[in-house]
């Protein structure tokens, strides 16, 4: 039978009385189940931080509002704060506990990717599916620790830095010092992808293929690039390595070479010195590290603060690797679910509204397509202690409405948060709730989102500034904004619900403020 559950009134009251951390993005129950199960699954490696108690997700219009109890986040972050007083390298040892599971996942992902063109038998297909489900859950059980630190430590670290600067008489320099101390020192996978794309564009310039790319449609250029073997090889290598770059928690289709021809064309038309751009982008992490080490010595930071800053560096890397793995999941499971669905009368979209333990039941004809079809219209999924409950119907809308209203402030013209990248910008606010809405962001607009994700990158490149409701020092918006050298304010809590789409706003990251200039 399908996983369905009535939610008791007592349980509803318990959930509604809690404080929650919200994230909003493109998603489906199947792919989010790995994070939900992984975070709430009890296991020894998480001691003493503990597993997540519960995760709630409201699915609607192929988007999800993802809720984590603030108590879980505070508990995990608090443990790391206490560790920081004595062990600056603790996180390195912690990360090693997951290395074997991460390596097994990578091998399985590579195997499934190479099997895309094969036609396994029903038994082989389900065996492969079940093995990859197990490997995927084990791969992401660290998520409760990653999210706990990422979402629970930023304000505490900021407070400690501010207090130390006040003792030194440097409180006025907090903004610039804080952003320097929390700058990333590991290149993200989006940075690796950007470097690879720049390299392909540079090769096209050197080989004389630029005019072919600029003066033809991507499809036409693909054929004509056969005459430019170095450019073609660079393009195909880039596509092979980064075809998953626009995946998310629902979409997992590979990007074709023509997509990247368009991106190379945009770089060539920009008029920028691409070799210089490549060098500057590649040098950012090392330059950040050198500046950070020098600054920590100059400020004579205590061991606790140095430890927390190193923890944030490690968690930035760990979070980035976790995010990359979820993109791999989206690709591999899209292949597996499509094949299983074909054999039992489900579309890929319907399969993605099952949860992992239901897929073998659907393959055996024990779940009708009407079950996922009802969920596509709107559903709530709860994960508690590794168990799943799913709710559909009018009750879901009522609960979702309550969660959306919780804690919303009175109408205001100023939204405050934490500066992740310094600067000031004015522009039109564009509220983005999904990667499908990213085209609404035009050059010079202010991108406003609950949190940004890698599939938002095209809009982020056009934006004059970025503002998010949530996100910590290790978040995607903070990293990308610094690389793009645009202002970014994170952790405003309510920007997407207080600011109006189309209104004119000013972002002043030095003050951590977004001010409404004219209403939409």
Copy the structure tokens of residue 505. Answer: 């706003």
Copy the structure tokens of residue 263. Answer: 């991106």
pLDDT at residue number 217 = 97
In order along its 520 residues, the chain shows pLDDT tens digits of 567 677 788 888 888 889 998 888 999 999 999 999 999 988 889 877 777 899 999 999 999 999 999 999 999 999 899 888 888 889 999 999 999 999 999 999 988 877 665 678 889 999 999 999 999 999 999 999 998 998 888 888 989 999 999 999 999 898 889 889 988 899 999 999 999 999 999 999 999 999 999 999 999 999 999 999 999 999 999 999 999 999 999 999 999 999 999 999 999 999 999 999 999 999 999 999 999 999 999 999 999 999 999 999 999 999 999 999 999 999 999 999 999 999 999 999 999 999 999 999 999 999 999 999 999 999 999 998 878 999 998 888 888 988 877 666 667 789 999 888 889 999 999 999 988 899 999 999 999 998 888 888 889 999 999 999 887 766 777 788 888 889 999 888 889 888 999 999 999 998 899 999 987 6
DSSP-derived letter for residue 167 is H
Q: Range of 489's domain?
A: 414-518
Q: Domain boundary residue among 261, 282, 303? A: 282
State CA 357 to chain mean position distance.
25
pLDDT at residue number 275 = 97
In a domain, 479, yes or no: yes
Identify the residue whose tokens are 């430590």: 153
Copy the structure tokens of residue 345. Answer: 């009368």
Nearest one of 341, 381, 318 to 125, comparing CA atoms = 341
pLDDT at residue number 67 = 94
pLDDT at residue number 60 = 93
In a domain, 250, yes or no: yes
In a domain, 180, yes or no: no
In a domain, 200, yes or no: yes
- Inter-residue contact 389 to 369 (CB < 8 Å): no
pLDDT at residue number 457 = 86
End-to-end CA distance of the chain: 49
In a domain, 341, yes or no: no
In a domain, 236, yes or no: yes
Identify the residue whose tokens are 């209104």: 503
pLDDT at residue number 363 = 96
Whole-model pTM over 0.75: yes
- Give the sheet arrangement for strand 63-69, strand by strand: 20-26, 63-69, 54-60, 379-384, 387-392
pLDDT at residue number 458 = 86
Q: How many domains in the chain?
A: 2
Q: Domain boundary residue among 282, 304, 338? A: 282
Task: Enumerate the β-bridge partners of residue 388.
Answer: 383
In a domain, 195, yes or no: yes
In a domain, 226, yes or no: yes
pLDDT at residue number 115 = 64
Q: Domain boundary residue among 267, 282, 297? A: 282
CATH number for 503: 3.50.30.10
- What 3 state SS string does 51-78 have? CCCEEEEEEECCEEEEEEEHHHHHHHHH
Nearest one of 97, 92, 180, 80 to 138, comparing CA atoms = 97
Task: Write down the number of H helices and E strands in the chain.
Answer: 23, 13
């Amino acid at each position: 039978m399908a996983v369905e559950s009535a939610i008791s009134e007592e349980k509803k009251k318990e959930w509604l009385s809690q404080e929650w951390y919200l994230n909003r993005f493109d998603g489906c129950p199947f792919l989010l189940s790995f994070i939900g199960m992984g975070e709430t699954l009890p296991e020894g490696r998480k001691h003493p931080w503990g597993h997540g108690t519960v995760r709630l997700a409201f699915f609607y219009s192929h988007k999800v509002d993802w809720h984590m109890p603030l108590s879980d986040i505070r508990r995990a972050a608090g443990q790391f704060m206490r560790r920081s007083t004595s062990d600056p390298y603790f996180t390195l040892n912690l990360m090693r506990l997951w290395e074997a599971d991460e390596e097994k996942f990578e091998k399985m992902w590579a195997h499934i990717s190479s099997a895309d063109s094969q036609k396994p038998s029903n038994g082989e297909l389900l065996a492969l599916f079940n093995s990859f489900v197990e490997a995927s859950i084990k791969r992401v059980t660290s998520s409760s620790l990653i999210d706990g630190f990422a979402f629970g430590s930023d304000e505490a670290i900021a407070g400690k830095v501010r207090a130390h600067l006040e003792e030194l008489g440097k409180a006025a320099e907090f903004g610039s010092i804080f952003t320097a101390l929390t700058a990333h020192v590991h290149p993200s996978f989006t940075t690796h992808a950007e470097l690879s794309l720049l390299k392909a564009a540079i090769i096209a310039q050197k080989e004389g293929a630029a005019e072919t790319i600029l003066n033809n449609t991507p499809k036409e250029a693909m054929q004509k690039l056969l005459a430019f073997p170095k450019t073609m090889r660079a393009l195909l290598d880039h596509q092979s390595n980064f075809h998953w770059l626009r995946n998310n928690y629902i979409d997992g289709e590979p990007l074709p070479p023509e997509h990247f021809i368009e991106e190379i064309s945009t770089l060539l038309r920009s008029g920028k010195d691409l070799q210089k751009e490549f060098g500057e982008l590649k040098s950012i992490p090392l330059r950040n590290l050198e500046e950070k080490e020098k600054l920590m010595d100059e400020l004579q930071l205590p061991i606790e603060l140095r430890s927390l800053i190193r923890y944030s560096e490690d968690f930035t890397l760990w979070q980035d690797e976790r995010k990359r793995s979820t993109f791999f999941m989206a690709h591999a499971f899209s292949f597996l679910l499509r094949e299983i669905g074909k054999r039992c009368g489900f579309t890929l979209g319907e399969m993605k509204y099952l949860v992992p333990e239901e897929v073998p039941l659907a393959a055996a004809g024990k779940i009708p397509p009407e079950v996922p079809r009802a969920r596509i219209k709107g559903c709530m999924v709860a994960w508690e202690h590794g168990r799943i409950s799913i709710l559909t119907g009018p009750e879901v809308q009522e609960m979702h409405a309550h969660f959306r209203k919780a804690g919303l402030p009175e109408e205001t013209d100023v939204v405050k948060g934490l500066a992740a990248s310094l600067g000031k910008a004015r522009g039109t606010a564009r509220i983005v709730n999904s990667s499908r809405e990213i085209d609404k962001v035009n050059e010079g607009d202010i991108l406003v989102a609950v949190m940004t994700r890698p599939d938002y990158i095209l809009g982020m490149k056009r934006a004059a500034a970025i503002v998010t409701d949530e996100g910590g020092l290790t978040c995607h918006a903070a990293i990308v904004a610094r690389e793009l050298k645009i202002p970014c304010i994170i952790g405003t809590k309510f920007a997407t619900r207080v600011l109006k789409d189309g209104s004119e706003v000013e972002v002043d990251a030095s003050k951590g403020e977004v001010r409404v200039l004219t209403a939409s």
